[in-house]
């Protein structure tokens, strides 16, 4: 048993100091082994942490992921589940590769100058530095992950998982190598997958180019076809013109030839039903080497494929005189040459969606290239069934449709990348017999001819290939480890909705394949994006990025976690604002100060005996009944992943009911010598700390360590992190106590409201009558508390209205009775009349202005409907206020 912090309940600072508390507590938790699964045989609860990239600091999105997952993990740990939160880091292949290449460029060299081995040595050094920084940041966020199991997508066990998966897929015919059209990022120098391409609308042009028509032998027939293109630089790679076979404009031209205007090459005119008769001229240039639609047309018609682009974005020898020219410079030169030759008919402005590399933001180039592919269509079928048959559920449910739509239209996945950092493709080519050896262990000889003249494929795998194995590779697969048997399948995969396709879908496909059809997780919980206060997406270029560590320095980790949870709901974006962050810090302080008051009231163990259910003072029964309801509701909400609402209910109970009402009422009894409330105070505080701990772990543990020295945990827990989550005490439910104390609250609010309306000085005592009807006995019992809470003395509690004065009074009608305050001495009638009359004049003027505006037909006809609606709302509000002021004036007399 690890020694506890041994904190003195009587020695609490006047304000909570998060910076002094957090690191020592975290180190104690970790040192004590609390983050490890410690309940073998119990129901398992497993979350595999989405691995952050190595490339940078954690941002608010990471902070939200961390907070939500840690809250779920801490909750299940307190439920007694065998809980594992397994952390890890992703090697971020393209991003890290780019960082190392930029470092080399600053030295005036490239990766090819130093070679692959030295490049990887430098990369591993970067990895070591970055991994330490990332795990430190996660700890700052309070992540109660089992760091002894931390995984890395490039470590030895994950490499074994990757190679095993590749080999199995290859052997089953689900991985193949083919020359196909791919997305090429010039800046990354690599192929990228379809979902790594982001499309943005950008202004461009339609260049209308004349193609001369000729017979098959090249003899011109004196006719042109005009083709509109957004990419004239690809004209040298054209291999056909296509028209619809039923388009009367081109009757008789199918089978003839067109002359490529940049080089005079003859290309066939073909008929294809994919061409729209209604769109533009009804004719297309077909460039199979540079457009996916054209590639499909080319396959149908057996067209030649010409690629004019080099990997660096310059044009190659097939571009003729434009060879060596950068692609966009070549576009300008080629257009000028077309115009000079009389082949450019016109140029039209045109806005269209252009694909950009998600990482580099470079415009993506479709290129023909030999790459490795996964047969995603075959893998998608069981992944679709796992969702449609309910084995995997999405929270919120609407994202199930998003997932299914993408999976039902999935295309084969290009998994090879032309970079050096990453899992190198486990294929070796034999120079002696041209055989391909696919192996898990690195071979020294060809498996076919036994030659040693073998060389490994130069390419690496898409980062998402190794990430797609994360739910089972982190547990030791392909080895049949104890962890794999104990913790697979996992229960929850929590991540952002923006990576359903990148990651979630691939985890489902690859896990089902590797794990014999067993799903990787039961629930996919998708959170939204964390946006700037104005709703904009956070980005360095906008200068609106909020650093979670800087926030922690200001409001504490619990303050940040409170703000993130209070603003989140499954699948919806949230705005992080200073007000919400400040609310988090304020609540931590409120919790601390109220706890300090409660703990300092305890004098001995004799103070800690709770009254039996259905016995004791009204306020005791009320607060314990409300606690039972809050425990039940918060548990139900946590089960439904409604963390924000669960937090709100506990926060409102603690602040608005326990602190503002019960503590204040209890003070009166304790001052009179009644020690019974102390046990209730301590019990409710203990339960609230348990309820809040999953979301606000530090301040709750710091307080609980003091509380437990007074009131030891019934289960023997030495730390709140492993104490049991509350169970709803249904025997404490007391509807009558809630009704009666609710009536007393209404009486107090009624007197307070009259005082506020009449601007009675806060320190002034006033005479008041409460007509309490059937709760007269309850109100009488709490008379002293009522007097103190609304500064009403003398206070007359009567059963019927005829026992209270009816003239010269201010009355408030409540659901359970009346409150009546004599006006004499309450305020200066003349001054109050003058104040109200002034306000009436101001509001009457406002009503007149609004009525004039809304009666103006010109305004109504020209203003947008929402503007007119707002003006009508303003008028209605002003009229309501005017009625209230006139009633108040009448009341004064």
Contacts of 381 (CB under 8 A, 6+ apart): none
pLDDT of residue 811: 85
CB 520, CB 489: distance < 8 Å: yes
CB atoms within 10 A of CB 455: 10
Condensed to tens digits (0 to 9), the pLDDT of residues 274-326 reads 898 888 788 999 999 999 889 999 999 999 999 999 999 999 999 999 999 99
Q: CA–CA separation, 412 vs 858, rounded Å? A: 60
Closest CA to 241 of 287, 284, 199: 284
Distance CA 575, CA 591 (A): 25
Give the C-alpha separation, 496 to 60, whole Å. Answer: 12
Q: Would you place residue 893 in the very low, low, confident or very high pLDDT band (cuts 50, 70, 90)?
A: low
**Going from the N-terminus, what domains does the chain have, and what CATH number goes with each?**
33-157+472-527 (3.40.50.620), 190-366 (3.90.740.10), 557-729 (1.10.730.10), 738-827 (3.30.2320), 830-892 (1.10.287)
Average pLDDT over residues 28-48: 95
pLDDT of residue 883: 87
Distance CA 528, CA 308 (A): 42
Q: What is the mean pLDDT of the chain?
A: 92
Q: Residue 201 corresponds to which tokens in the numbers above?
A: 């609308």
pLDDT tens digits along 80-96: 999 999 999 999 998 89
> Residue 843 to residues 493, 848, 852: CA-CA distances in angstroms?
56, 9, 14
Residue 512 near residue 190 (C-beta atoms within 8 A): no
CA 393 to chain centre: 17
Per-residue pLDDT reduced to its tens digit, 446-479: 999 999 999 999 999 999 999 999 999 999 999 9
C-alpha span between 826 and 176 (Å, rounded): 89
**CA 299/CA 286 separation, integer angstroms:** 11
Q: How much is the pTM?
A: 0.85
Residue for token pair 């032998």 = 217
- Residue 541 pLDDT class (50, 70, 90 cuts): low
Indicate whether 712 pLDDT > 50.
Answer: yes
Helix (H, G, I), strand (E, B) or coil at 553: helix
Mapping DSSP onto H, E and C, the string for 676-721 reads HHHHHHHHHHHHHHHHHCCCCHHHHHHHHHHHHHHCCCCCCCCCHH
Q: Give CA–CA dist 187/572, Å, rounded.
A: 33
Bridge partner residues of 208 (DSSP): 228, 346
* Nearest by Cα to 795 from 824, 817, 825, 765: 765
Residue 115 CB-density burial (10 A; 0-12 exposed, 13-18 middle, 19+ buried)? exposed
Both tokens of 230, joined, read: 């957004």
pLDDT of 1 higher than 50: no
Do the beta carbons of residue 68 and residue 525 sit within 8 Å? Answer: yes
Is the pLDDT at 55 greater than 80, yes or no? Answer: no
Among candidate residues 102, 83, 100, the one with its CA nearest the CA of residue 91: 100
Percentage of the chain lying above the pLDDT 90 cut: 71
Give residue 717's pLDDT band: very low, low, confident or very high (50, 70, 90). Answer: very high
Average pLDDT over residues 712-717: 91
Q: What is the pLDDT of residue 11?
A: 82
pLDDT at 837: 86
3-state SS class at 462: coil
Q: Is the pLDDT of residue 3 over 60?
A: no
In terms of Cβ atoms closer than 10 Å to its own Cβ (0-12, 13-18, 19+), residue 827 is buried
Question: Rounded distance, CA 25 to CA 557, Å?
Answer: 12
d(CA 391, CA 517): 11
Mean pLDDT of 145-157: 96
Distances (CA, A) of 26 to 332, 353, 702, 721: 61, 49, 11, 11
Helix (H) or strand (E) holding 194: none
* Segment among 177-191, 246-260, 313-327 with least mean pLDDT: 177-191
Ranked by mean pLDDT, which of 244-253, 355-364, 462-471 comes out on top? 462-471
CA dist 30 and 136 (Å) reads 13
Query: Buried (b) or exposed (e) across 545-578, using 16+ Cβ within 10 A?
Result: ebebeebbeebbbbbbbbbbbbbbebbebbebee
Please tell me the distance from the alpha carbon of residue 142 to that of residue 698, in angstroms, as a whole number: 8
At 575-597, the pLDDT tens digits run 888 999 999 999 999 999 999 99
Average pLDDT over residues 22-48: 95
């Amino acid at each position: 048993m690890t020694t506890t912090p041994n904190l003195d309940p009587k020695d609490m600072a006047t304000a909570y100091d998060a910076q002094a508390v957090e690191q020592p507590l975290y180190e104690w938790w970790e040192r004590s082994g609390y983050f490890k699964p410690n309940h073998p045989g119990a129901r398992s609860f497993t979350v595999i942490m989405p691995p952050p990239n190595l490339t940078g600091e954690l941002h608010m999105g990471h902070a939200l992921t961390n907070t939500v997952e840690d809250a779920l993990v801490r909750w299940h740990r307190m439920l007694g589940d065998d809980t594992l939160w397994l952390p890890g880091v992703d090697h971020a292949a393209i991003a890290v590769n780019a960082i190392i290449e930029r470092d080399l460029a600053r030295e005036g060299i490239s990766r090819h100058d130093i070679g692959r081995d030295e490049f990887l040595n430098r990369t591993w050094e970067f990895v070591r530095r970055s991994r330490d920084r990332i795990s430190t940041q996660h700890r700052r966020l309070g992540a109660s992950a089992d760091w002894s199991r931390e995984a890395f997508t490039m470590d030895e066990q994950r490499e074994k998982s990757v190679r095993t998966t590749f080999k199995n897929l290859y052997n089953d015919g689900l991985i193949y190598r083919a020359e196909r059209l791919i997305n090429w990022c010039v800046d990354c120098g690599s192929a990228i997958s379809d979902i790594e391409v982001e499309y943005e609308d950008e202004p461009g042009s339609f260049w209308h180019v004349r193609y001369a028509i000729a017979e098959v032998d090249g003899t011109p027939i004196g006719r042109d076809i005009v083709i509109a293109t957004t990419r004239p630089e690809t004209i040298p790679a054209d291999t056909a013109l296509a028209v619809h076979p039923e388009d009367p404009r081109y009757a008789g031209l199918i089978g003839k030839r067109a002359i490529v205007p940049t080089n005079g090459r003859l290309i066939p005119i073909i008929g294809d039903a994919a061409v729209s008769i209604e769109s533009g001229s009804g004719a297309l240039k077909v460039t199979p080497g540079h457009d996916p639609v054209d590639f499909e047309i080319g396959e149908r018609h057996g067209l030649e494929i010409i690629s004019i682009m080099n990997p660096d974005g310059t044009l190659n020898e097939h571009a003729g005189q434009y060879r060596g020219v950068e692609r966009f410079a070549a576009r300008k030169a080629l257009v000028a040459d077309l115009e000079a030759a009389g082949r450019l008919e016109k140029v039209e402005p045109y806005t269209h969606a252009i694909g950009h590399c998600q990482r580099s933001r470079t415009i993506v180039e479709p290129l023909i290239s030999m790459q490795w592919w996964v047969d995603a269509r075959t893998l998608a079928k069981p992944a679709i069934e796992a969702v449609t048959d309910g084995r995997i559920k999405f929270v919120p449910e609407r994202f199930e449709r998003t997932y299914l739509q993408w999976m039902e239209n999935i295309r084969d996945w290009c998994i090879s990348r032309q970079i050096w950092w990453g899992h190198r493709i486990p294929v070796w080519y034999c120079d002696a017999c041209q055989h391909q050896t696919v192996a898990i262990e690195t071979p020294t000889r060809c498996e076919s001819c036994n030659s040693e003249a073998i060389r490994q494929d130069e390419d690496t795998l898409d980062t998402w290939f190794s990430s797609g194995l994360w739910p089972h590779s982190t547990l030791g697969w392909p080895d049949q480890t104890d962890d794999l048997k104990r913790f697979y399948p996992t229960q929850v995969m929590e991540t952002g909705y923006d990576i359903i396709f990148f990651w979630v879908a691939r985890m489902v496909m690859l896990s089902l394949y590797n794990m014999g059809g067993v799903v990787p997780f039961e629930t996919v919980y998708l959170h939204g994006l964390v946006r700037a206060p104005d709703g904009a997406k956070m980005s360095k270029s906008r200068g609106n990025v909020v650093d979670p560590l800087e926030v922690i320095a200001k409001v504490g980790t619990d303050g940040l976690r409170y703000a993130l949870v209070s603003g989140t709901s499954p699948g919806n974006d949230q705005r992080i604002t200073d007000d919400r962050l400040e609310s988090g810090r304020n609540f931590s302080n409120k919790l601390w100060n109220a706890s300090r008051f409660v703990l300092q009231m305890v004098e001995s163990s004799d103070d800690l005996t709770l009254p039996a259910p259905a016995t004791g003072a009204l306020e005791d029964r009320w607060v314990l009944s409300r606690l039972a309801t809050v425990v039940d509701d918060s548990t139900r909400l946590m089960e439904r992943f409604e963390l924000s609402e669960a937090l709100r209910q506990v926060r409102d109970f603690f602040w608005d009911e326990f602190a503002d009402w019960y503590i204040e009422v209890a003070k009166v009894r304790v001052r009179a010598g009644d020690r019974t409330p102390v046990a209730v105070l301590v019990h409710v505080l203990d339960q609230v700390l348990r309820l809040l701990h999953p979301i606000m772990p530090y301040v709750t543990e710091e307080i609980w360590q003091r509380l437990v020295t007074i009131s030891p945990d019934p289960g023997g827990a030495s730390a709140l992190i492993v104490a049991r989550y509350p169970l709803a005490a249904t025997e404490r439910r007391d509807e009558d106590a809630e009704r009666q104390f609710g009536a007393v609250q209404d009486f107090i609010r009624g007197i307070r409201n009259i005082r506020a309306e009449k601007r009675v000085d806060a320190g002034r005592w006033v005479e008041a009558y409460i007509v309490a009807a059937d709760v007269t006995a309850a109100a009488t019992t709490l008379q002293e508390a009522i007097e103190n809470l609304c500064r009403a003395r003398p206070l007359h509690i009567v059963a019927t209205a005829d026992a209270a004065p009816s003239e010269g009074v201010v009355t408030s009608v409540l659901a359970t009775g009346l409150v009546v305050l004599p006006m004499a001495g309450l305020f200066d009638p003349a001054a109050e009349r003058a104040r109200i009359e002034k306000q009436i004049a101001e509001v009457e003027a406002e009503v007149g202005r609004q009525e004039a505006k809304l009666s103006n037909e010109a305004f109504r006809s020209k203003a947008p409907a929402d503007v007119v609606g707002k003006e009508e709302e303003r008028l209605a509000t002003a009229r309501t206020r005017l009625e209230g002021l006139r009633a108040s004036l009448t009341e004064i007399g």
